Chains A and B, each alone.
Chain A
Amino acid sequence: MIAAVSTPAGRGGIGIVRICGPDALRASAEFFKLKYKGPVKPYTFRYGFIFDGGLLIDEALLSYMKAPHSYTTLDTVEINCHGGYAVVQKVLSLAVKAGARLAEPGEFTKLAFLNGRIDLSQAEAVMDIISAESDYALISAAKQLSGSIKDKVSSLRAEILDAQAVLEVSIDYPEYEDADRADVIQRISEVSAKLANMAVMANLGGALASGVKTAIVGRPNTGKSSLLNALLDCDRAIVTEIPGTTRDVLSEKLHVGPLVLNLMDTAGIRQSGDVIERLGVERALACADEADLIIWVLDASCEMDNDDFSVWEVIRGRSNAIGALNKSDLPPVLRKQAIMDMFGVPFFNVSAKNSQGLDGVKAHIINMFSAGDIEPGDLLTAERHKQAAERAAAFLKSAAEAAVAGVSDDLISIDLTEAISALGEITGENAGSDLVDRIFSSFCVGK
């Protein structure tokens, strides 16, 4: 089963995601919920909603072309959703989650041809299409990878090659003494972490244009709303106010350096018997779950209570959380260092009331979402690239774990080779003789 966005890239009124394969209808049912129950009849449009787990993403239309009467002759489902980049990519990633594989350039056309849907006399035209699409894909892939991100992926790939060359040179030259493998595992782990981070960042790729979803969470009365206001106050001139559409959460746009944050005000999180308040808390949790960035607000002027710890349960394990120790204008009870040590989350002393300490928060956010030297717009934006980075990270992780467990170099090298080839899909570099070249340029070996 394959899936692809079949409308042109960029903002359009609608975007179409096409899923093709015997299992297409079942897969789409995993994230497309029909408004009105009943079987999906072929060649009709059905109205419904896209859900990511419990979270509503978009309203959409679904059409179903039953085999063999479709372009490819296989079961095909097309989902018409709203054409924003983020939404379309989200639907595509849901399709992938449901078991589809990203289609190769021109693969639908190829299937159509191979399944005899297109007449032989059209063969040449088909080849032109595929070739054109492939070239287009190459060019656009290259464009998607402008400047620093490509250099970054290339340099990570080179780091893996370096590490592998260290292992390989002592395999091919068993008596060679100068290959220092002491830090190889360390290096592999570092690259793995960087790639995993890149993949996480890639999820933001499209989102960056529309804004980094930022949830301000905390128990009631820690000063969340004041913090929101204080943050907005700093950039009054460029603040715009957009009423939430499908959700009741009000979101505010805030420019922070090169970033746009969509600040989402959430209800205070606490155990409550009140139905309305519980609903608000659920929304807050959903908001935090979906957020690209979570700002956890604590009241520094009093001890933490049980509600604070229930908030922590929401945040625990999220790599994208930072903390604000609010009310630094009052005599402190919570100490920044102690809190950071306890939760392993970066914290900042702020006073929303006096607008103090906000620059530190912003600088940290810019740093977080720029991953040091990645400029917004230079992130991995294509789903294919993201997947490749994730795969590479996983292979490297497995290599590092294997190395720690005492697995031998010949096996570790298998993972490294796969990681290098996955990154090659991003940079367009073909493994070929890279490793051999690397060995001979790095090490002085030979009879």
Chain B
Amino acid sequence: MKLLNWDVAVIGGGHAGCEAALAAARMGLSVILFAIQLDSIAMMPCNPNIGGSSKGHLVRELDALGGEMAKNIDKTFIQSRMLNAGKGPAVYSLRAQADKRRYAREMKRTLENTRNLCIRQSEIMAVKLDENGRVRGVYSESGAFYECGAVVLCAGTYLKARCLYGDVIHETGPNGLRAALGLSDSLKRLGIRLQRFKTGTPARIDKNSIDFSEMRVQEGDEPVIPFSFDTEPALIQRVQVPCYLTYTNAQTHEVIRANLHRSPMYSGVIEGTGARYCPSIEDKVVRFADKERHQVFIEPEGEDTAEMYISGMSTSLPEDVQEAMYRTLPGMSGCRVMRNGYAIEYDCIDPTQLTTGLMFKNIRGLFSAGQINGSSGYEEAAAQGIVAGINAARFTRNKPPIVIERSEGYIGVLIDDLVIKGADEPYRMLSSRAEYRLLLRQDNADIRLRRRGYEAGLVSAEKYERLIQKTQRIEDEIQRIRKITIAPSPALNEFLRVNGTAETMTGVILAELIKRPELSYNACAVIDAGRPELPADIREQVNIQIKYEGYIKRQISQVEQFKRMESRKLPDNIDYAAINGLRLEARQKLAFHKPANLGQAGRITGVSPADISVLVVFLTAFQSMSERGPR
């Protein structure tokens, strides 16, 4: 039985699947998105927030490319904060608490109202290839065949998932939803290597059973800064809901230690690899045994629910222990658990099988994005989703993939890390992973990536034109303040004195004044008579680009070095085993990973700088030979 013909099929309706499907559909292709349960589209099964350090960058970049996550959280947030404000412009991070239900509902509505996009409740059991190893379509559980030109796997944590707490084991996906039991084996038959990861979530507790007076209140920022570059700030100022901070104590740790043997993590029932950055509270107490207390954040799951998310205390301890443990916290002595915390194990792929365009190297037309690639987090999933969606669409039109470089965005760092280094634990985006992060700021994501979105066909000409104008105005203003010399005067010195910085006897270039730590572009307005009226985002760019010019230049020269290596392509048909100068380990690793260029080759674990020198020489010889032909 054959059911219609689609350009792109997306398997999974989580954060990766939604972005992949929207991207392909908006590019004008016919798209079908399969979800095991339509009510779980864009579900947030764990933390109730979007953004945060480096994840906020991903969301901004996603928005610049024409993605949906930023717009969707702008519609549905219940609290918003700009984090890291004191730590420098490179690491400012926007984070918003979501109303989970509304977030999911809004996203589903957007999918439903997108032309060319069909959503379908069904479990996909197998991917079919043609005789040339190219994707032909997918089979649903009833055996129906959906023919399509490209497939994007966005199965999240559902593949052979099982959820555990205490001695309870459920063969389900997150939140009690049905697991996907068929697809893993189909992928294995296609020769895809799988691994098993583990993550977890804390309990949800009834708001009405918590005494918040014993906790520290965390309010949102005012005014709220939108995630999306297209959201008008004035339209999203709304009453915000607070979060709360409390701490574990000796008694909490006592309860946990006394019951460690009842945790599936410690009894050996769990096989999957967990992430160091997402430890359960059991892990924290064991690994940091001398720490007297751990932070716990109490976050609302939404405005229409009493459920509170207990951030910092994910657990897979038995039900009775969970209850006892949470009750040791200040203000929670009478708390009522509504949903148990649990650990979840699932199959994911070894992401080194993918190209930087997120297609399987050996299976043309099969793409993969999100937690199935070994990442974790809604934002990481969505970021991969849009790239896979764009590239699946381009594949069906015989266009080369779009690749975002490490020097262009956190999305580039994320994908490059996954496909080049692989993941031996669930991968979380961290700002420390981005080498060029002073250039990859959340404030300039549009300047960095809008063009890529426009070229992909996801950003309208009108929006792109607006960006060009913005860039031009920034450039004009920077040129202007570099040229202006402020003459010495009592008024100037009065201004300098008031701002606590050195006075001057000679004229000073305005740009140099702005660089002083005590001053800024905005602060200098009073001494800058000819200043044009500019919007806040442009003033921010001018300030950052002038103030951090020295560091920015350093990073730009690092990027140039990086690009030189990335531009040296390694042909597909290199026989690494036959290159004598390479060490044996390097031959094996290179043959296995088939890096696309020298830069990638250098990032593979087990390839040394000496091996790269050999490759440089080989490449030169190889190219000369191809140019001159055999002699």
Q: Is B87 an interface residue (CB 8 A)?
A: yes
Q: Are A411 and B438 in contact (CB under 8 A)?
A: yes
Q: Kindly name the residue among A124, A174, A432 whose own CB sees the greatest number of chain B CB atoms within 10 A.
A: A174
Q: Which residues of chain B are near A130, meaning CB under 8 Å?
A: 581, 610, 613-614, 617
With an 8 A cutoff between CB atoms, is B305 at the interface?
no
CB contacts (< 8 Å) of A110 on chain B: these are 613, 616-617
Within 8 A of A (CB), among B576-631: 579-583, 605, 608-611, 613-614, 616-618, 620-621, 624-625, 631
Q: What's the Cα separation between A126 and B624 when bound, in Å?
A: 15
Most buried by B among A130, A407, A410, A436: A410
Collect the chain A residues with CB atoms within 8 Å of residue B202's CB: 447
A120, B278: Cβ atoms closer than 8 Å: no
Q: Give the Cβ gap from A399 to chain B, nearest Cβ, in Å.
A: 11
Query: Within the complex, what minimum Cβ distance (angstroms) separates B555 from chain A?
Result: 7
- The answer for the CA separation of A131 and B579 in the assembled complex, in Å, is 11
A157-174: CB near B (< 8 Å → 1, else 0) gives 000000000001011111
A444 proximal to B (CB < 8 A): yes
Residues of A with C-beta under 8 A to B438: 410-411, 414
In the bound complex, CA of A280 to CA of B312 (Å): 75
- The reply on B430 being an interface residue by CB < 8 A is yes
Within the complex, which residue of B287, B421, B614 is in contact with A131, where a contact is CB–CB below 8 Å?
A: B614
Distance in angstroms between the alpha carbons of A114 and B614 in the assembled complex: 12
B91 within 8 A of A: yes
Residues of A with C-beta under 8 A to B614: 127, 130-131, 134
- Residue A4 at the chain B interface, CB threshold 8 Å: no
Residues of A within 8 A of B83 (CB): 174-175
The residue of chain B having its C-beta at the shortest distance from the C-beta of A173 within the complex is B53
| A439→B428 CA distance, assembly (Å) | 13
How does the 8 Å CB contact mask read for B555-584 relative to A, with 1 for contact and 0 for none? 100000000000000000000000111110
A110 closest partner in B (C-beta): B617
Partner of B91, one of A104, A175, A410, A433: A410
Residue B90, interface by CB 8 Å: yes
Q: How far is the CB of A376 from chain B (nearest CB, A)?
A: 30
A417→B432 CA distance, assembly (Å): 10
B87/A171 in contact, CB under 8 A: yes
Instruction: Report if A235 contacts B (CB, 8 A).
Output: no
State which of A120, A127, A433 has its C-beta within 8 Å of the C-beta of B625. A120
Most chain B Cβ neighbours within 10 Å, of A124, A178, A411: A411
Contacts of A105 in B (CB 8 A): 610, 613
B284 contacts A by Cβ under 8 Å = yes
**B-side contacts of A446, CB under 8 Å:** 275-279, 284, 312
In the complex the two chains form, what is the Cα distance from A131 to B614 in whole Å? Answer: 6
Do residues B297 and A174 form an inter-chain contact, with CB atoms below 8 A? no
A128 to B579, CA, bound (A): 9
B residues within 8 A CB of A369? Answer: none
Of B245, B551, B611, B617, the residue contacting A113 (CB under 8 A) is B617
Minimum CB–CB distance for B178 against chain A, Å = 25
Residues of chain A lying within 8 A (CB to CB) of residue B621: 113, 120, 123
Question: Would A127 and B580 be within 8 Å (CB), given that A113-B617, A177-B295 are in contact?
Answer: yes
Contacts of B84 in A (CB 8 A): 171, 174
A407 touches B89 (CB 8 A): no
Q: For the complex formed, measure the closest distance between the CB of B603 and the CB atoms of chain A, giving whole angstroms.
A: 9
Annotate B531-568 by CB proximity to A: 1 below 8 A, 0 otherwise: 00000000000000000100100110000000000000
Inter-chain contact B581/A128, CB cutoff 8 Å: yes
CA distance A137 to B608 in the complex (A): 13
Residue B175 lies at the interface, judged by CB distance under 8 Å to chain A: no
**Chain A minimum-CB-distance residue to B609:** A134
By beta carbon, the residue of chain B nearest A444 is B288
A131 with B581: CB separation less than 8 A:
yes
Chain B residues within 8 Å of A175, by CB: 83, 245, 295, 297
Which chain B residues border A171 with CB–CB below 8 Å?
Answer: 53, 84, 87, 91, 431-432
> Which single member of B87, B90, B314, B554 contacts A447 (CB below 8 Å)?
B314
Residue A106 interfacial (CB < 8 Å)? yes
- Chain A stretch 389-439: residues in CB contact (< 8 A) with chain B: 405-411, 414, 417, 432-433, 435-436, 439
Q: How far is the CB of B558 from chain A (nearest CB, A)?
A: 9
Q: Which of A101-151 contact B (CB under 8 A)?
A: 104-106, 110, 113-114, 120, 123-124, 126-128, 130-131, 134-135, 137-138
Report the Cα distance A177→B293, complex, angstroms: 11
Q: Which residue of B lies closest to A176 (CB)?
A: B295
A440 at the interface (CB under 8 A from B): yes
A445 is an interface residue with CB less than 8 A from chain B = yes
Taking CB as reference atom, which chain A residue is nearest B288? A444
Shortest distance in angstroms between A51's beta carbon and chain B's nearest beta carbon? 34
Q: Are B47 and A447 in contact (CB under 8 A)?
A: yes
Q: Tally of A-B residue pairs with Cβ under 8 A?
A: 141
Of B88, B287, B624, the residue contacting A409 (CB under 8 A) is B88
B423-443 interface with A by 8 A CB criterion: 430-433, 435, 437-438
A411 to B86, CA, bound (A): 12
- Of B89, B581, B611, which one neighbours A410 at CB under 8 angstroms? B89
**How far is B498's CA from A136's CA once the two chains are assembled, in angstroms?**
62
Q: Which of A417, A432, A447 contacts B278 (CB 8 A)?
A: A447
A127 touches B618 (CB 8 A): yes
Quick check: B620 and A408 within 8 Å, CB to CB?
no
A134 touches B517 (CB 8 A): no
Contact residues in B for A447 (Cβ distance below 8 Å): 46-47, 202, 278, 311-312, 314
- Chain B positions 35 through 79: 1 when the CB is less than 8 Å from some CB of chain A, otherwise 0: 000000000001100001110000000000000000000000000
Asked if B294 is at the interface of the complex by the 8 Å CB criterion, the answer is yes
Q: Is B291 on the interface with A (CB-CB < 8 A)? A: yes
Residues of chain A contacted by B581 (CB below 8 angstroms) = 124, 127-128, 130-131
Most buried by A among B291, B432, B551: B432
Candidates B87, B88, B291; contact of A444 at CB < 8 Å? B291
Beta-carbon contact of A113 and B620 below 8 Å: yes
Give Cα A106 to B582, complex, Å.
Answer: 14
Asked whether A134 and B580 contact (CB < 8 A) given A120-B621, A436-B432, A446-B279, the answer is no
Contact B625 A410 (CB under 8 A): no
- Quick one: which of A126, A171, A406, A447 has the most chain B CB within 10 A? A447
Pick from B421, B432, B579, B631: contact of A172, CB below 8 A: B432
Partner of A138, one of B52, B291, B610, B616: B610
> Are A411 and B548 neighbours in the complex by a CB distance under 8 Å?
yes
In the assembled complex, B252 has its CB within 8 A of some CB on chain A? no
Contact A444 B91 (CB under 8 A): no
B246 interface residue (CB < 8 Å to A): no
> B608: which A residues are within 8 A, CB to CB?
134, 138
Q: Cβ of B391 < 8 Å from any Cβ of A? A: no
The residues of A that contact B616 with a CB separation of less than 8 Å are 110
Q: Judge whether A435 and B311 touch: CB under 8 Å.
A: no
Contacts of B620 in A (CB 8 A): 113-114
Task: From the candidates A126, A172, A411, A436, name the one contacting B617 in the complex (CB within 8 A).
Answer: A126
Of B287, B311, B551, B625, most buried by chain A (CB within 10 Å of CB) is B551
- Across the A-B interface, give the 6 residue pairs with the lowest CB-CB distance, nearest first: A408-B88, A134-B610, A127-B581, A410-B88, A131-B581, A410-B90
Instruction: Offer 28 A-B interface pairs, CB within 8 angstroms, sorted by A.
Output: A110-B613, A114-B620, A120-B621, A123-B618, A127-B579, A127-B581, A128-B581, A131-B580, A131-B582, A131-B611, A168-B431, A172-B54, A172-B431, A174-B52, A174-B87, A175-B245, A405-B517, A408-B86, A408-B88, A409-B91, A410-B88, A410-B89, A410-B437, A435-B432, A439-B432, A444-B287, A446-B277, A446-B312
| Apart from A123-B617, A130-B613, A444-B291: 10 A-B pairs, beta carbons within 8 A | A104-B613, A131-B610, A175-B295, A408-B86, A408-B88, A414-B551, A436-B433, A439-B432, A444-B284, A447-B278
Taking Cβ atoms with an 8 Å cutoff, the residues of B that contact A are 46-47, 52-54, 83-84, 86-91, 93, 202, 245, 275-279, 284, 287-288, 291, 294-295, 297, 311-312, 314, 421, 430-433, 435, 437-438, 517, 548, 551, 554-555, 579-583, 605, 608-611, 613-614, 616-618, 620-621, 624-625, 631
